[in-house]
Amino acid sequence: MIDVLDFISDRFADNETTWSIGTFGAIAEFARDPEEAMELYHGEEGISVVTARGGLRITAHHKLRLIASESPTAESWSHRVAFCLPEEICAMNGRTELTEIGPDREALRAADRASVLFDLGLGTLQVDVCVRTNDPEIIAALRESTGKSVFAPGSDAMSVILARHPHRVFISRIGRAEVFQPIPPPNGKSPSGPHTHLLPKLLAHGRTHAATEPLPCGWIPCAHLYPPHPIRDRFGKTRPFRSDYHAAFQALLERYGDPDLVALKRRVVNSIMAKRGPPTASLPSERFAHATVRVALRQLQATDRLSPALTAWLSVCDRNGGSCAEDPMEALH
C-alpha cells in the first residue's frame, strides 16, 4: 500500500494526469490546470487533492489491484490504469430511489461537512452517485422527491439539480470525487477541470465499465487514472509525439498490464522491427488480442517508423481488418 500511495501522490502532482470515479453511464472526472492552486492531503489510508473547482480522494485497500490497459480509438488509441476491487467487495449501497443521507461527514473540505448529501439512487454497483448542498431551498425541493426514482415522471429532482447546481459527489470503496463547478446546459460543453456525465441510456446497459476495456472477470474498476498521452493532450488535441510519455505508460503496462497481452504486443513490435510481415496463416481475432495488435501498429506509426513490414501489418490488421487465430500467441511464434 505504501508503494501505491506513493504512486498516487506522484500522479496527483502531475497536472496532465486526469482521474475518474464512476461507472458506465455515470462518471465524475477530475483534472486541474498547470497553474491552478491545489491543496494536497496525505493520510494514513489515502491521499486527497482539492482545488476551487473540485477534488479527489483515493484511499488504500488491501484488496486493491491496479490494471493498466490500452484500446484502439477511431483515430489513435487510449490508455488508462484501473483501480480495481474484487466484485464481491466492491459494491456500494445500490439504492434505487432518491435518498437523503444526511450531513456529508467525509467531505473533502471541512466547510462542506455540514451540507446534506442525497444519493440519486441510480442502482449502480461500484459507485454511489450523490449531490450535496447547504441551500435550504434545494434541500426542501429534493426532499419532495425522495423515495422515488429521479427519472420517474413525477420527480422534479433532476430539474432541480440541473437548475441549481449542487455539488456532485461520486463515492466508491476506494475514494470519492467531488465537483463544485456548475452543470453545463443540455447542449453545452463540459467545462475544463472537474465535471460529471450522467447518461441514462448508457446506465440502462448495467455495465460496470466500457466493453473495450480488457479487465479480468471478477475485477471491478472503482477509479481510473489517465496518464499523459503521447500524441493528445487532456483536451483531446493532437500534439507532437512525446516519447517520454509513451515510455512512461509502457512501463506501467509492463508492471500492471495483462501479461498475455503485453507479451503479444512485444512479439508484434519485435516482428516488425525485425522486418517480418504478419503471419501468413492467421492473426489474432480474440477481441482484446486484436485490439492489442492494432494499438501496437498505431504506436509504431506515431513514432514515424513506417516500413514495408509495418505497412503490411497495417493492411491486414487495421485498415482492412484481419482474420486471426484462436491462439494469438501461437500465431506469432
| Domain spans in the chain, listed from the N-terminal domain onward | 258-331
Residue 81 has a pLDDT of 98
Say what the pLDDT of residue 322 is: 39
- The residues near 37 (Cβ < 8 Å, ≥ 6 apart) are 51, 52
Enter the pTM of the model.
0.92
> Helices marked H in 165-317 — which ranges?
200-203, 243-256, 259-273, 287-302, 308-317
Query: 81: which strand partners?
Result: 68, 225
What pLDDT was estimated at residue 236? 86
Q: What is the reported pLDDT for 280?
A: 62
Cα 242–chain centre separation: 22
Residue 2 has what pLDDT? 56
pLDDT at position 164, please?
Answer: 96
Please give the pLDDT value at position 327.
Answer: 37
Res 297: pLDDT: 95
Q: In 3D, which of 83, 78, 93 has the Cα closest to residue 128?
A: 93
pLDDT at residue number 283:
67
| Residue 306 in grid coordinates | 513506417
* DSSP state, residue 279: -
In order along its 333 residues, the chain shows pLDDT tens digits of 558 888 999 999 999 999 999 999 999 999 999 999 999 998 877 899 999 999 999 998 999 999 999 999 998 999 999 999 999 999 999 999 999 999 999 999 999 999 999 999 999 999 999 999 999 999 999 999 999 999 999 899 999 999 999 999 999 999 999 999 999 887 778 888 999 999 999 999 999 999 999 999 999 999 999 999 999 998 889 999 999 999 999 999 999 999 999 999 999 999 999 999 888 656 677 899 999 999 999 999 999 778 999 999 999 888 644 334 333 333 333
- Is-contact 170 130, C-beta < 8 A? yes
Look at residue 321 in the predicted model and tell me its pLDDT: 41
Backbone angles phi, psi at 234, to 5 degrees: -70, -10
- Phi/psi for 10 (5° steps) reads -60, -40
Q: Report pLDDT for 324.
A: 40
Give yes or no for a contact between 152 and 248, defined as CB atoms under 8 angstroms apart. Answer: no
On whether the CB atoms of residues 143 and 99 are closer than 8 A, the answer is: no
DSSP per residue, 178-198: EE-SPPPPTTSPPPSSSEEEE
pLDDT on residue 271: 93
The pLDDT score that the predictor gives to residue 328 is 36
| C-alpha cell of residue 108 | 473533502
pLDDT for the residue numbered 137? 97
